[in-house]
Amino acid sequence: EVQLLDSGGGLVQPGGFLRLSCVVSGINFTTYAMSWVRQAPGKGLKWVAAISGDGDTTYYADPVKGRFTVSRDNSKNTLYLQLNGLRAEDTAMYYCANAQGNYWGQGTQVTVSS
Amino acid sequence: SYELTQPPSMSVSPGQTARITCSGDALPKQYGYWYQQKPGQAPVLVIYKDSERPSGIPERFSGSSSGTTVTLTINGVQAEDEAAYYCQSTDNSGTYNVVFGGGTKLTVL
């Protein structure tokens, strides 16, 4: 069974930081490009970032460029998203998924508020 | 920035056919993907590469593409199909830029 377990969300003040994690099991993690997708409360899905299977290539949506960093540790089957300089508009449920979209985590909530 | 346009809502009666459209200038060259999302749950892929159906997705779900529009068709809609549906694709910029449509809330009357 394929499982993606997101974690690391929480309540943080504006300007703060968080690191999200996604532990993957049931697939050959190294062969999958991975993505992060977020969803603000009551809103639609927004792509955030992606990373190649070997971790050498990363891509970002314009609203998070320069603030968020996607990375992976293939020895631990784990995907990360470092969130820096957080803003109120970053408040959302964050999902990890493989780039093909057929496997998703359950999401981890990030709330940015003073 | 690149956009995919979907109708915000749609209503159908059980047993009828629902057709949800998604329009974008890059769709003639880029594949369309469709996700179903029920409240409080993660999205589920129901169609990939315009018309392919993942294993485990009922046959009543199908996809098609024509010009700048991709369409998700649900034949014989059931009450359990009530959900938000999102299309997804990429633009023609040459960089990897994933875009989702705004979503269509399907109500089964």
pLDDT by 10s per residue, chain A, length 114: 999 999 999 999 999 999 999 999 999 999 999 999 999 999 999 999 999 999 999 999 999 999 999 999 999 999 999 999 999 999 999 999 999 999 999 999 999 999
Nearest to A47 among B48, B54, B100 (CB): B100
Predicted pLDDT of residue B12:
97
Query: Longest Cα pair distance anywhere in chain A, in angstroms?
Result: 41
Question: What are the structure tokens assigned to A101, written together?
Answer: 């979209």
Of the pLDDT bands very low, low, confident and very high (cuts 50, 70, 90), residue B92 is confident
Minimum distance, in Å, between the CA of residue A32 and any CA atom of chain B:
15
Looking at the complex, does the CB of residue A46 fall below 8 Å from at least one CB of chain B?
yes
Minimum distance, in Å, between the CA of residue B96 and any CA atom of chain A:
6
Contacts of residue A44, defined as CB under 8 A and 6 or more positions apart, other chains included, come to B84, B86, B100, B101, B102, B103
Rounded mean pLDDT of chain B?
96
Of the pLDDT bands very low, low, confident and very high (cuts 50, 70, 90), residue B96 is confident
Which residue in chain A is spatially nearest to B95 when comparing CA positions?
A59
Name the percent of chain B in helix, strand, coil, to the closest 5: 5, 45, 50
CA distance B84 to B34: 10
Q: Is A89 helix (H, G, I), strand (E, B) or coil?
A: helix
Phi, psi of A52 (to 5 degrees): -70, 170
Phi, psi of A86 (to 5 degrees): -65, 145
Looking at the complex, does the CB of residue A87 fall below 8 Å from at least one CB of chain B?
no
Contacts of residue B60, defined as CB under 8 A and 6 or more positions apart, other chains included, come to B74, B75, B76, B77, B78
Question: What are the structure tokens assigned to A80, written together?
Answer: 């990360």
Question: What are the structure tokens assigned to B95, written together?
Answer: 């960089």
B20-69 pLDDT tens trace: 999 999 999 999 999 999 999 999 999 999 999 999 999 999 999 999 99
Predicted pLDDT of residue B32:
97
CA distance B28 to B55: 26
How many degrees, rounded to 5, is the angle at CA A58 between CA B96 and CA A68?
Answer: 110
Minimum distance, in Å, between the CA of residue A64 and any CA atom of chain B:
13
